[in-house]
Amino acid sequence: MNKGEGLAIRRPRDSVKGNALGRLVGRQHIDAIIGLDVLGGRDFSIDYQSKRITFEMPMGGVNSTKTTEPQVPFEGGPGFAVVHIQIQGQVLRLMVDTGTSDLVLFAPRVQGRLPGTRPAGVKTKTTMAGEERWPVLELPGARLGSIDLATPEAVLMDGQAPASVDLDGLLGVASLGLRRITFDFEHNTIRWEPR
């Protein structure tokens, strides 16, 4: 970002309070949430190992159509990216969340749509509302694009995003077992380097 270009920073707890996305922020100290409305249009990578965001393409990643890394198409939302996941023949719309560690499904959106899921326990999450216990579901046959998910599990959250964004859940990219994720706006793809 060049000097003089605007960076919109909003207080995350105030801007997301009251909806399911806000509950995921938890009791962590967060100074800002930067969405694709700020970063959009500029290819960037997040390297979780070195904890760096870079705005140039990683070596060998200049042309995403030639990469051997897993990749999926995305569509841009207002400040976020949406990917499609297929579970039991149902296509679900998930917001890509680089700060969430789980695949999260919104219970009101998926209720009755995934009869083949199986309970796989409970996960305790610290959210803005305090400690919450969320059911964990096994998702047999879950696919992200043409890729079978290695650990097809999701937490089921009793809440949802604002109706205006039409989301069934969140894809916490850490659930993909990655070291680095790259957002390629020229090809509208997200690709990642597995651990």
Is residue 4 included in any domain, yes or no? no
Is residue 93 included in any domain, yes or no? yes
pLDDT of 60 > 90? The answer is no
Whether 43 and 185 have beta carbons less than 8 Å apart is answered as yes
Residues of the domain holding 154? 12-194
From residue 125, give the alpha-carbon distance in Å to each of 72, 96, 131, 190. 28, 19, 6, 27
Is residue 3 included in any domain, yes or no? no
Distance, CA of 81 to CA of 67 (rounded, Å): 21
Q: What is the mean pLDDT of residues 86-114?
A: 91
Is residue 5 included in any domain, yes or no? no
Q: Which CATH number fits the domain that encloses residue 106? A: 2.40.70.10
Distance, CA of 10 to CA of 143 (rounded, Å): 34
The per-residue pLDDT for 31 is: 66
The per-residue pLDDT for 85 is: 95
Question: 3-class SS at 7?
Answer: coil
pTM of the predicted model, to two decimals? 0.78
Q: Where does the chain have alpha helices with state H?
A: 12-16, 20-23, 36-39, 107-110
The per-residue pLDDT for 131 is: 86
Smallest Cα–Cα separation from 122: which of 91, 153, 90?
153
91 or 9, higher pLDDT? 91
pLDDT in tens, 131-169: 889 999 999 889 998 888 877 899 999 888 888 888 999
Residue 30 binned pLDDT confidence (cut-offs 50, 70, 90)? low
Is residue 6 included in any domain, yes or no? no
The per-residue pLDDT for 32 is: 66
Q: How many residues does the chain have?
A: 195
Is residue 55 included in any domain, yes or no? yes
pLDDT of 3 > 80? The answer is no
The per-residue pLDDT for 29 is: 57
For residue 74, give every residue at least 6 positions away whose Cβ sits within 8 Å of its Cβ, in sequence order, or none: 81, 82, 83, 96, 183, 188, 189, 190
22 or 161, higher pLDDT? 161
Is residue 106 included in any domain, yes or no? yes
pLDDT of 93 > 70? The answer is yes
Mean confidence (pLDDT) of the chain: 78
**Number of domains the chain contains:** 1
Is residue 1 included in any domain, yes or no? no
